[in-house]
Structure 1
Amino acid sequence: MTERHPPRLRSIRTSQYVALALVSALAAASVWPAPGWARSLDSVRFRGTLGICAHPNSLPYAHKNGEPPGFQIEVGRALAEKLGVSLTPVWVISSFQIRRADCDIVLDAISNQQAQEESGLSLSKPYYRGGVILAVRPDSQIGTFRDLNGSSRVAVQVGSIASMLLNERGVPISTYGFQDEMLDAVANREVDAAIVTPAAAGYFNTTHEGHALRVIGPDEQEPDLVWNVSVGMMKPDKELRAAIENAMDQLQAEGTLERIYARYGMALHPPK
């Protein structure tokens, strides 16, 4: 499925969907090919490592110091193991400079080539269905996105597609910079609902035992708020692309992906 518009809901703590952009350089040019070169399966195996771009402080996605490491790092390690190599995180903070970062992959990339124009990533076949969801209190009467009306106040991120859609429908909104603030606002009864990612809501629930919010969606009746998710690859050759896709298929079939994401409170849905 291709979205009518590229999704723009891509910033959790500067960008926790695909938390990307160069913060650190890795290794010498003799070992790591220049970012403009095609990346081959042979070169990955020669180096003995797979480079993953990830944000250093963006749980549940990734975390540079301590435990848990984040699901992107855990999935990256499992993927690298399937390829017979280790994983090397390349810590980055924004998508604008991904072309300069010496990494091979980015996980949880939106499966829309338009949406990846600034990153220059090639996309694998999708491995789950993503988007945004509604988070409400357990006693809320809201059951779907269509229940949002003029009497509902909804937390949204500044400049997001969700904010635009709700404005068009006359639904009152409160804008926030970060998704954890939005979820706190729901829990504290400052708003009736929040439109956030499944990852943000799931992790909030795992870290707020006894105060979990109810999760609704993603809603396939809202095509601008749902999308498939892929592995983003930096200029892969066909052998590397095939190896990554085969490895992800194996991790899916074994239940490894489902178990990793579940540890962070997130349920995976099949792509469409």
Structure 2
Amino acid sequence: MPQGRRRSFSIAAFGFLATVGLVPVGLVPVRPAMADEQPTLRLCADPDNLPFSSEKAATPGFYVELGRAIGQALGRSFQPVWVPTYYTKRQIRLKLLTGQCDGFVGVPDDPSFINPRLVVSKPIIQLGYALVAPPASAINTVQDLHGRHVAVQFASPPQDLLATTSDVQMVTVLSPEEAMQDLATGKADAAFIWGPSAGWLNHTVAHDAFRVVPVNGEHMVWTAGIAFPRDHAALRDQVDHALDGLGATINALAVKYDFPGAKPGAKPTQDAQKSVPDDGKPDATVQAESPPVTAAAAPNPADIAAGRELFNENCSHCHGPDAVQGEQRRNLRLLRQRYGNDMSQMFMTTVTHGRVKKGMPNWSGIISNEEFQKILAFLKSVQEPGS
């Protein structure tokens, strides 16, 4: 996905001519180094993750435009460093902590992302999940989903939440795009998906055909910031100071990129609100309530058995019958030890995108979403003790 940035032909050609001696040295401009010149601000961002970031000049995304504004406030030029964010923690280790970028934008205030080698900026913006429904529907809260077909992304908090209810028919998808498509075709009555993606897709693809209602509550809302290496705490402090003066810019960008709940001229929200207060009583002022999230329902033994059969038919040639594999790097019984709570997301990302260089194909279109879930249920049932 990332593409090399183009240089101006005239500048490149001029440099080449000077190199081979076809341009008099006196005509080549020499820019003296300034002792007080500020270095470029380099922020790691995904090249294909709208509405947050994109390498496309016409729609650079919320984080890229904010990075430019921060750079301007600091008197620095700005350069995005493109990295895919399917494996955010890994990219933080490989890119940020090796000095290939100065900061990693969009890190959530999630304890699983807290690394003793990092410091994080003030919150930039509040992000969370949202309900998407037709304008005429009566769906305004999570409680209104009862008796409905609801599109949810696999291994997401909305799926975990709705798994605790008995009268919601979940339509499991692998992406917000697929959820919006199911909503548009009538396969689902509503979608319960990542809010920024919902707002962006509703505007750019569905032409504002639906209502997008933010959902507040535990495990439904986070704030995002910029992570820096711990030895760059001084830069973090400078960025924090810049953010103090960029509230209006942040709000304008949230409106531009269709973040749910963003309104022109509104003060940006940085502190996540909860729709279930400490006393356990619903907050009547919250537009879309969400009951406390509990653990997902236990896998059905029949699904585990079916998943074992599917695994042995399709995966055992590399990962061993019943996932028994002596080669540690291919031992899928160690997934939870390696990835912890990210095990499910890592599994789904890998099987639906592949690892071609390592001989792992993309199984999308060969194995269905439901079959992926059964294989995952089987793998969860055989994880090694101590994981």
Task: Report TM bin, short chain.
Answer: 0.7 to 0.9
Partner of residue 363, structure 2? none
Structure ID, larger Rg: 2
- Residue 115 of structure 1: CA displacement? 2.7
Q: Could you tell which deviates more after superposition, 96-105 or 158-167?
A: 96-105
Say whether the 8 Å CA contact 1:187–1:211 is kept in structure 2.
no
Partner of residue 82, structure 2? 91
Partner of residue 269, structure 1? 269
Name the CA distance, whole Å, in 2 between partners of 1:270 and 1:237: 23
Structure 2 SS opposite 1:191: coil
Match of 2:183 among 181, 186, 189: 186
Does 1:54 pair with 2:82? no
Match of 1:232 among 227, 230, 244: 227
| CA spacing shift, 1:193–1:121, aligned 2, 3 Å | farther
Task: Give CA-to-partner distance per residue, 1:21-72, whole Å, 9 cap, x none.
Answer: x999xxxxxxxxxxxxxxxxxxxx8662111111111111111133111111
Say whether the 8 Å CA contact 1:130–1:269 is kept in structure 2.
no
What is the TM-score when the length of structure 1 is the normalising length? Answer: 0.75
- Residue 210 of structure 1: CA displacement? 4.5
Match of 2:107 among 101, 109, 122: 109
One-letter code aligned to 2:174: G
Partner of residue 136, structure 1? 133
Root mean square deviation of aligned Cα: 2.5
User: What is the aligned length?
Assistant: 226
| Structure 2 residues without counterparts, runs of 5 or longer | 5-35, 263-267, 273-387
Say whether the 8 Å CA contact 2:119–2:233 is kept in structure 1.
no
One-letter code aligned to 1:97: Q
Name the CA distance, whole Å, in 2 between partners of 1:160 and 1:119: 26
Higher RCO structure, 1 or 2 (CA under 8 Å, sep 6+): 1
Name the CA distance, whole Å, in 1 between partners of 2:58 and 2:207: 22
Match of 2:253 among 234, 251, 260: 260
Partner of residue 28, structure 2? none
Question: Identical aligned pairs, as a percentage?
Answer: 31
After superposition, where does 1:108-257 map in structure 2 within 5 Å? Answer: 108-112=106-110, 114-117=111-114, 121-149=118-146, 151-170=147-166, 171-208=168-205, 210-219=207-216, 222-252=217-247, 255-257=248-250
One-letter code aligned to 2:271: P
Structure 1 SS opposite 2:224: strand
Structure 2 SS opposite 1:141: coil
One-letter code aligned to 1:74: E
Name the CA distance, whole Å, in 1 between partners of 2:124 and 2:68: 16
Task: Give CA-to-partner distance per residue, 1:115-135, whole Å, 9 cap, x none.
Answer: 315796422222322211111
